[in-house]
Structures are given as structure tokens and as C-alpha cells.
Amino acid sequence: MITVIGIFEDVNLADDVCEYLLGNEFDADSLDQHTHKSLPGHDVHGPGAIDRIATFFNHLFDNGHEAEAHATAGRNGTIVTVHAPSARLAQEAVDALNNYGAIDVNAFDENTTGTRSVMVERIVADEVRLRG
């Protein structure tokens, strides 16, 4: 399983990419969308939501700096996670997330490359997934 993550400043773009992916070879079980901040039509999650975001990214990344950068961005936007069974589908997810406007989490960090969507070859346990 390959996990692909994109973070969006605009929840509408996140909604749009999820709709696109659902219409193109992905099913609802392979997509997670999580909005932390309060937006019309999107509930703020209760206490512990920030810890869930940090736990999620610490589970995915061995590098603590990279995990924290993604968690910080995720707390201020909408996280779309795609759980792809193949490299081909993972690359399609990366392309879609980028085309729909996933942000460059590391844009201001001179020690990292400027990628927007991130592909990680790691399975995310159900209890760690960011659903809703």
C-alpha cells in the first residue's frame, strides 16, 4: 500500500479533488479527508484533533522535522489522504492532488525539495487514519 498526502488551503479544492478521484478508479475506502479549522459545512474536531494530526504524520515520516512541517500545515488546512494499492494509482493520485492545488508544505524550508503531494510507501493503520 502506498499512502499519498496532499494538503489544501481551500477546502473546496480538497472536495473537488476527492470527487475527481472517486470518479476515476478510487473508492471511498481509499480516500480520507480531514479539515481541522472551522469552515462553513465542516465541523471543527474536538479536543485531541491536533494530537491526531501529529500522530498521523509521525506515523508516516521517520524525520521529525518533516512530520511537524506537515502537521502544522494540516492543522491550518484540509488533509486529503489516498491509500493506493499500486504505484500507478499512487502516481495518478499525486498528479490529481497537485493539479487541484495541494500546497508545497516545505516551500519556506531551504533544506527540503519543493514537492507538493507526498508519496510514502507505508500502510496507515485504521486507528491512525484521518477520517472526517
Assigned domain for 125 exists? no
The tally of domains found in the chain comes to: 1
Which H or E element spans position 18? Answer: helix 11-22
Q: How confident is the model at residue 109 (pLDDT cuts 50, 70, 90)?
A: low
Assigned domain for 12 exists? yes
Structure confidence at residue 49 (pLDDT)? 52
Q: How confident is the model at residue 2 (pLDDT cuts 50, 70, 90)?
A: very high
Statement: residue 87 has pLDDT above 80: yes
What CATH number is given to the structural domain containing 25?
3.30.70
Assigned domain for 37 exists? yes
Assigned domain for 126 exists? no
pLDDT in tens, 8-54: 999 999 999 999 999 999 999 999 999 876 545 544 555 555 578 89
Assigned domain for 127 exists? no
- DSSP track, 84-104: ESSHHHHHHHHHHHHHTT---
29-46 burial code (b ≥16 CB/10 A, e <16): ebbbbbbbeeeeebeebe
Assigned domain for 14 exists? yes
Which H or E element spans position 78? Answer: strand 78-84
Q: How confident is the model at residue 108 (pLDDT cuts 50, 70, 90)?
A: low
Q: How confident is the model at residue 129 (pLDDT cuts 50, 70, 90)?
A: confident
Domain residue limits at 35: 2-120
- DSSP lists the bridge partners of residue 35 as 78
Q: Which of 130, 132, 128 is nearest to 59 (CA)?
A: 128
Q: Which of 63, 32, 43 is nearest to 125 (CA)?
A: 32
Are β-strands 31-35 and 118-120 bridged in parallel, bridged antiparallel, or unpaired?
A: unpaired
Structure confidence at residue 46 (pLDDT)? 53
> In whole numbers, what is the pLDDT of the chain averaged over residues?
84
Statement: residue 111 has pLDDT above 80: no
